[in-house]
């Protein structure tokens, strides 16, 4: 079974042949767990131009190695593995520098070339915008460059704790690194989704003096406050988020992280679809961060922005000496071994955001519910075993 896209809000669970090895560096995996991510909704809504009917979606998955190509050294049949959401070759200039998400060999998207000068790495299940690779919302996946893109998981780490090493655990950690989060610093995070909440937890573990989380969804803010120990601001209730931050931190926060959904900031929708027409995005959240961050503070943008923006408060950036950093798609491979250890030790519990379990044949209903944000769906674990 696979989850395939056919049109706007039309995804179907479809029988498909088990993929075959096509390169000696390929690994075929039998998937044991996958999930759906906020960014899959942009595909669901047909906001990406490069979608083709029959595309298999899904960029976060784990499984058991079923077959390996002749050049594979690091994994063997039967190993439990998690896959990184990005597909890196492991041997180009960027891969060698540890910047796997910037791999130069696995994506030749002409849209990205036009927008960014050079494309970033290919992604599982993200259409021809990102290399055209079949995704992991399926029972079997072909993993290119398996020695680079699969991490072995020890038997005592259950699937629920390993799956999110594919993306959101390293991504949220990378966001805190890019925002210069350190012991004793204060941090403000826009967005209490999986990325924002995990970034809040990593900030706490790093010894941040205060972590402020901004959102409008009550259950998410409750989790940030009660489970992670953050201060929270509900932007539906506080008309001025910046003032609310200064009330808590009179000098401004040392670090800011934009982990909000691009749906609200219009990033990907307007960015990719209208790239050629130079349509612009809103800089609202970035401007709040520029105002709320202390002089010579740092801001990391981990939320996906795709193209142009206007009304960007460049004056605050310059006059306050702020460092504004894009995280890129996070280089998962740079972090995942170390972060697996923190999961193993119990220091970081990925299941704090796990809200639901589904089975692969319920994927269509899952997309519908996830799209409507029904019943407080935060992050789900989708089983592919019967
Ligand atoms: P999500 O949609 O679950 O959560 C985003 C949250 O932002 C929501 O709870 C929403 O209410 C909140 N929000 C919206 N507008 C806001 C505003 N003005 N101020 C404060 N909060 C606001 O998303 P997620 O899965 O946590 O992902 C967060 C972002 O990170 C997305 O843009 C996603 O595409 C991006 N992402 C980036 C990478 C990477 O490698 N760079 C990887 C994964 C996800
Ligand atoms: Zn590479």
Per-residue pLDDT reduced to its tens digit, 82-108: 999 999 999 999 999 999 999 999 999
Structure tokens, 369: 């519910």
Q: From CA 101, how far away is CA 133, in angstroms rounded? A: 15
189 CB near ligand 1 (under 6 Å): no
* 39 CA → ligand 1 middle, Å: 9
- The pLDDT confidence band at residue 282, using thresholds 50, 70 and 90, is low
Ligand nearest to the CA of 149: 2
Per-residue pLDDT reduced to its tens digit, 31-49: 999 999 988 988 898 877 7
Per-residue pLDDT reduced to its tens digit, 111-149: 888 888 999 999 999 988 899 999 999 999 999 999 999
* 145 CA → ligand 2 middle, Å: 10
217 CB near ligand 1 (under 6 Å): yes
Structure tokens, 64: 């058991």
- The pLDDT confidence band at residue 386, using thresholds 50, 70 and 90, is low
Q: Where are the alpha helices (DSSP H) in 79-193?
A: 93-96, 110-116, 146-149, 159-162, 168-178
Is 299 in contact with 289 (CB distance < 8 Å)?
yes
Determine which residue's CA is closest to atom 40 belonging to ligand 1: 329
Task: Look at 276 and 141; give whichever has higher pLDDT.
Answer: 141
Mean pLDDT of 232-244: 93
Determine which residue's CA is closest to atom 12 belonging to ligand 1: 191
Is 81 in contact with 62 (CB distance < 8 Å)?
yes
pLDDT of residue 115: 83
3-state secondary structure of 300: strand
Residue 248 has pLDDT above 50, yes or no: yes
Give the mean pLDDT of the chain.
91
pLDDT of residue 262: 55
Ligand nearest to the CA of 98: 2
Choose among 105, 102, 114, 100: nearest CA to 49.
Answer: 114
ipTM above 0.90, yes or no: yes
pLDDT of residue 54: 94
Dihedral, CA atoms, 304, 380, 79, 31, nearest 10 degrees?
Answer: -90
């Amino acid at each position: 079974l696979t989850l395939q896209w056919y049109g706007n809000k039309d995804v179907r669970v479809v029988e498909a042949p088990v993929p075959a090895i096509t390169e000696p560096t390929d690994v075929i995996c039998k998937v044991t767990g996958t999930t759906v991510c906020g960014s899959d909704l942009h595909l669901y809504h047909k906001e990406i131009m490069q979608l083709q009917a029959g595309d298999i979606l899904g960029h976060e998955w784990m499984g058991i190695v079923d077959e390996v190509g002749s050049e594979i050294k690091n994994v063997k049949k039967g190993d439990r593995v998690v896959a990184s959401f990005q597909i890196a070759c492991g041997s180009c200039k960027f891969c060698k520098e540890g910047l796997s998400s910037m791999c130069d060999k696995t994506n030749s998207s002409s849209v990205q070339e036009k927008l960014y000068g050079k494309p970033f790495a290919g992604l599982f299940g993200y259409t021809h915008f990102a290399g055209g690779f079949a995704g992991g919302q399926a029972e079997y996946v072909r993993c290119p460059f398996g020695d680079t893109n699969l991490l072995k998981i020890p038997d005592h780490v259950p699937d629920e704790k390993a799956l999110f090493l594919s993306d959101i655990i390293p991504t949220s950690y990378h966001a805190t690194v890019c925002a210069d989060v350190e012991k004793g610093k204060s941090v403000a995070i826009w967005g209490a989704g999986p990325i924002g909440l995990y970034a809040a937890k990593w900030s706490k573990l790093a010894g941040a003096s205060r972590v402020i989380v901004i959102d409008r969804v009550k259950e998410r803010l409750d989790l940030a406050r009660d489970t992670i120990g953050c201060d929270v601001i509900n932007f539906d209730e506080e008309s001025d988020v910046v003032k609310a931050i200064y009330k808590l931190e009179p000098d401004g926060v040392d670090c800011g992280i934009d982990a909000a959904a691009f749906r609200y900031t219009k990033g990907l929708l307007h960015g990719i679809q209208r790239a050629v027409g130079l349509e612009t995005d809103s800089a609202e959240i970035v401007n709040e961060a520029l105002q709320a961050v202390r002089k010579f503070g740092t801001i990391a943008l981990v939320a996906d922005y795709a193209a142009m923006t206007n009304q960007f408060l460049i004056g605050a950036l310059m006059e306050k000496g702020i460092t504004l950093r894009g995280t890129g798609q996070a280089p998962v491979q740079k972090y995942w071994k170390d972060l697996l250890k923190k999961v193993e030790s119990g220091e970081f519990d990925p299941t704090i955001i796990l809200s639901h379990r589904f089975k692969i044949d319920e994927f269509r209903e899952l997309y519908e519910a996830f799209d409507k944000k029904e019943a407080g769906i935060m992050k789900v674990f989708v089983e592919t075993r019967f």
